[in-house]
Chain A
């Protein structure tokens, strides 16, 4: 073995003066700046680059790693100072709920710093699957668990999933803001969305589009693991109904309004919280000729708006300390205020007490 290989310094073997002399003094500020003070003594043992071979990329990469490392250390320190272990609540599911769930999780960090709530989306089906597989503590869902899923959860976890209503969502029918249509009936929606539905042009609904070449209806929906998809299918087409083929199945609640905002002849459904300046919410009537109801908090609460549904969180049986505290906080005025800000309809104390849903016969 040569001397070179045994020497820990990269360039030091050939010229000892470079490795241990002035260079180490030049290098150490670089390291100590990025590292936490605790690690500073180590920096003197760090090999320094031979100036002749120094590579700016290498240095940058090293610096980046050290910065990341110090960031991690910093975080651990802070958590350690907070005293006690941090409880992590895993929470995932419905894309309809994910935005407000994230807002809740962030706000709850200030309420109880010892509890960290981790939120992700993926669709109600994904969340419920996570609950069944025990990878989640809370499954967000915008549809009810099926009997089959409850059975699987019981078999896998030994506990009955418990349902908590945390708010309500009015499902709005969106069109582009330049579309002259203002209201639509449930029957017309079934004609547009149903498997054998006869309507595929706006003119069939008596609508004259500003640009006559844009008469074809671009029907958008959600991908089939979305609770919104299931709820809308049942509410519009009945238990046995199927959507027509060829609808654009978008991958998120936000994508729906995003796309409709760009497409003048499109129609779509998603939570009213996802409205943008480029889209318009239609008023909905149960039958053609009935009064058309705009989607709003008040119409959802009094039950006149026909397509609204509860937002649900499922837990394994009766939840334990931190999870119960989190759910209680969500249903407190502070938690519900965040829900309202996100465009959803709150659970009022009165409704919880009577146990009724404010959504009329559509559910």
Chain B
């Protein structure tokens, strides 16, 4: 091979650049974790009561007489809204992804994809506005509830926000399955549904799981829409028609007011760490599940 020296150099340079890009992700994750933790660290080691934080519902950060930082109701709020959103969005999103990828006529597919991407581009504050006005009165009318700013409202809004992500990534995962798989299955006499169910879904499971996870990530991390749609009330919901408050909404609503480096400010950063831990655990579990699937099959 007769290569000019500057081509070799150029390739090396590009290699170096993409290596830095790859490593930068790790650097970013760790430095974000470090800075978030540093902001909350002083209080975390001095005066922070983990028992109260995780087991008490009494969230009184600005009380004049007795300050209490119990985040249980906030954790329950995030949990309930996310679980509901996923219960709606995962079947709906995966179903839509399968339809768009496998069953949909070509022309309709293009239209659908554009529309779904548009759905993903709607700003979260607009979703929150829909929750606050349209969904609120709809829930009051349909369920005869006293108030429409509830777990149900937040869950539905979050589901609508996660579906486009699940659809577009899920569709990509299904599209990435080689056509030879489909052809081989068809040649063996499988129906279209059998091809999808027995061949495509197992082959694309990693990508589909990634799609679901990104959807969960969006639901856990979403702030503005849930702030507006859930009613922002500190309580453990007893039903879908109770208002709640989420961890993210609490940070958004209170960080602006908390004096920098006060206990309240640092507790909000500890909530940030908690959110970090939650997403980390979800990712880890998903990884383990994928590995488990791989081993058993």
How many residues belonging to B are interface residues under a CB distance threshold of 8 Å? Answer: 36
Chain B interface: which of A44-52, A64-72, A261-269, A313-321?
A: A261-269
- Find out whether the CB atom of B59 lies under 8 angstroms from the CB atom of A245: yes
| Cβ contact within 8 Å between B259 and A248 | no
Contacts A224-B61, A224-B62 known; A249 to B232 CB distance under 8 Å? yes
Of chain A, the residue at the smallest CB distance from B227 is A251
Decide if A248 touches B257 in the complex (CB within 8 Å). no
Q: How far is the CA of A247 from the CA of B256 in the complex (A)?
A: 20
The answer on a CB contact under 8 Å between A248 and B147 is yes
B140 touches A242 (CB 8 A): no
A129-B256, A216-B146, A249-B253 as given contacts; A263 in contact with B140, CB under 8 Å:
yes
* Count of A interface residues, CB-CB < 8 Å: 35
Within 8 A of A (CB), among B220-278: 227-228, 231-235, 243, 245, 253-254, 256-260
The interface bits of chain A over 197-218 (1 if a CB of B lies within 8 angstroms of the residue's CB, else 0) are: 0000000000000000110101
- Counted as pairs of residues, one from A and one from B, with CB atoms less than 8 Å apart, the total is 88
Interfacial chain A residues near B58, Cβ < 8 Å:
245
* Given known contacts A152-B259, A223-B232, A240-B65, A251 and B253 CB-to-CB distance under 8 angstroms: yes
Contacting residues, chain B, for A265 (C-beta < 8 A): 146
Q: A242-B65, A245-B57, A248-B233 are in contact. Are A214 and B253 (CB under 8 A)?
A: no
Does the CB pair B256–A126 fall under 8 Å?
A: yes
A126, B257: Cβ atoms under 8 Å?
Answer: yes
Q: Which A residues are CB-close (under 8 A) to B260?
A: 129
Structural contact, A129 and B259, CB atoms closer than 8 A: yes
**B253 x A224 contact (CB < 8 A):** yes
A258 contacts which chain B residues (CB < 8 A)? 132
Q: Which residues of A contact B253 (CB under 8 A)?
A: 223-225, 249, 251
Q: Does any Cβ of B come within 8 Å of A259's Cβ? A: yes
Tell me whether A114 is interfacial, beta carbon within 8 Å. Answer: no
B254 touches A225 (CB 8 A): yes
A248 surroundings in chain B (CB, below 8 A): 147, 149, 231-233, 243
Please name all residues of chain B whose beta carbon is closer than 8 Å to the beta carbon of A259 when the two chains form the complex: 136, 147, 149
Cβ contacts under 8 Å, B62 to chain A: 224, 230
Q: Which of A122, A148, A149 contacts B256 (CB 8 A)?
A: A122
Dominant secondary structure at the A interface: mixed
Scan A223-261; emit 1 where CB is below 8 A from any B CB, else 0.
Answer: 111000010000000011110011111110001001100
Complex contact A251–B257 (CB within 8 A)? no
A23 nearest CB across to chain B (Å): 30
Select which of A214, A223, A242, A251 is within 8 A of B60 by beta carbon. Answer: A242
| List of A residues within 8 angstroms of B245 by Cβ | 249
Closest B residue to A264 using CB positions: B146
- Residues on A with C-beta less than 8 A from B19 are none
Q: How far is the CB of A223 from chain B (nearest CB, A)?
A: 5
Q: How far is the CA of A262 from the CA of B148 in the complex (A)?
A: 9
Contacts of A255 in B (CB 8 A): 132
List CB contacts (< 8 Å) of B13-70 with chain A: 57-66
- Is residue A9 within 8 Å, beta carbon to beta carbon, of the partner chain? no
Complexed CA–CA distance, A240 and B57 (Å): 20
Query: Contact: B254 with A224, CB < 8 Å?
Result: yes
Residues on B with C-beta less than 8 A from A239 are 64
Which residues of A have CB within 8 Å of B259? 129, 148-149, 152
On chain A, the residues within 8 Å of B256 by CB distance are 122-123, 125-126, 129, 225
16 A-B contact pairs sorted by A residue (CB < 8 Å): A129-B257, A218-B146, A224-B257, A225-B253, A245-B234, A246-B234, A246-B243, A247-B233, A248-B149, A249-B234, A249-B245, A251-B253, A262-B136, A262-B137, A266-B146, A266-B147
10 new A-B pairs (CB below 8 Å) besides A241-B65, A248-B233?
A: A122-B256, A123-B256, A123-B257, A152-B259, A225-B256, A242-B66, A245-B59, A246-B243, A255-B132, A262-B137
Identify the B interface with A (CB < 8 A).
57-66, 73, 132, 136-137, 140, 144, 146-149, 227-228, 231-235, 243, 245, 253-254, 256-260
Give me the interface of A with B, judged by CB distance under 8 Å: 122-123, 125-126, 129, 148-149, 152, 213-214, 216, 218, 223-225, 230, 239-242, 245-251, 255, 258-259, 262-266
